[in-house]
Amino acid sequence: MNTEPRHTLRLLAVGDVVGERAVSDLSRLLGAASARYAPDITVVNGENAAGGRGMLPEQIDEIFAAGADVITTGNHILDRDAVIPRLEDSPRVLRPANFPAGDVGVGYCIIPVCGVSMLVMNVSGCVYVAARDGSAFGSPFEAAEQILTREAGRYDLAVVDIHAEATGEKLAFARFFDMNRDERDRRVAAVWGTHTHVPTADARVLPGGVGFISDIGMTGPENGILGIDSDTIIRFTKDHARVKFKVADGETVMNAALFELDARAARAISVRRVKFTMR
């Protein structure tokens, strides 16, 4: 992470890491991205690192060692009980802020980047997504507003990973903060979607200055279906079979989005999709 003061900075948001091999490959992939784009901060979603569901403590260490400054997650983060102690003592490992009350972990952190304070937030969508016990998540809109209001004055700009299924919900979230930037000075500069593992073609800067993309895709084997073995997913979807998911074989790809941000105005200058493949 770059701490040298300047007004324009680059944020690399990396899509859901799927499987152990993708975790191992991440160091080389982030190294290639760093050499080409020189990001000032890198945020990696580690949601599916452990066999496609959740993360293990040692994988958190590997993802940070590979170059992540913050790790975001999603609806599967509590699927692995072993990760719970790390969520309690790792302020830069985030779980969605709108998880049911009482769940361990934090939904945001504030870190120094290029001489400014950046609030990095993680929320979950509610449409077609539920907690592991089947209970509903709280509103991502309300959770984000509460955090931005509570931390007003402590950050210069905010960025959000919204882990959600429905593209419309993700765009509505971004549009809301884009249309209401002046009201209570919300200062959201970037919103990117994760969870579907399929990169979308709608990267752009919204009229109010929020950089947005519905989904940045995944980091994992491209040969399968969303990173999981094709035969397994076909049996699950076509035959409704009870199957244990396994990560697909094949080379690892890293899908991500690169945001260029104006720290003084707390707005995006540009956003574009990027992709790297293991060679």
Q: Look up residue 18 and give its DSSP letter.
A: B
The CATH number that applies at residue 66 is 3.60.21.10
Kindly list the catalytic residues: 76
Q: What percent of the chain has pLDDT over 70?
A: 95
Whether pLDDT at 77 is above 70: yes
pLDDT in tens, 95-104: 999 998 767 8
Residue 237 covered by a domain: no
Helices (H), the chain: 20-37, 57-66, 84-89, 140-150, 167-179, 230-238
Pairing of strands 252-262, 116-124: unpaired
Q: Report yes or no on 243 lying in a domain.
A: no
The position carrying tokens 């040692």 is 58
Residue 2 lies in a domain: no
In total, how many domains does the chain have?
Answer: 1
Q: Whole-angstrom Cα distance, residue 246 to residue 101? A: 31
CB count in 10 Å sphere of residue 79: 16
Whether 208 is covered by a domain: the verdict is yes
Which H or E element spans position 214?
A: none
Within 8 A by CB and 6+ apart from 59, the residues are 20, 23, 46, 49, 50
On whether residue 235 sits in a domain, the answer given is no
| Top-confidence residue, 78 or 279 | 78
* Closest C-alpha to 157, from 118, 125, 185, 99: 118
pLDDT at residue 240, as a whole number: 83
Q: Domain residues for 182?
A: 8-221+251-277
Question: Residue 100 falls within a domain, yes or no?
Answer: yes
Q: Yes or no: say if 145 and 56 are a contact pair by the CB < 8 Å rule.
A: no
At 183 the pLDDT is 56
**Burial class of 229 by CB neighbour count within 10 A (0 to 12, 13 to 18, 19+):** buried
Distance CA 55, CA 26 (A): 15
Is residue 246 assigned to a domain?
A: no
Using pLDDT thresholds of 50, 70 and 90, give the confidence band for residue 3.
low
Per-residue model confidence as pLDDT tens digits over 182-221: 655 678 999 999 999 999 999 999 999 999 999 999 999 9
- Closest Cα partner for 138 from 53, 55, 146, 92? 146
Q: How far is CA 203 from CA 83, 213, 262, in A?
A: 33, 4, 17
- Report the C-alpha gap between 84 and 82 in whole angstroms: 6
Count the neighbouring beta carbons within 10 Å of the beta carbon of residue 279: 6
Q: How far apart are alpha carbons 203 and 155 in whole angstroms? A: 25
3 is a domain residue? no
HSE on the CB side for 46, CA within 13 Å? 37
The tens digit of pLDDT for each residue in 25-39 reads 999 999 999 999 999
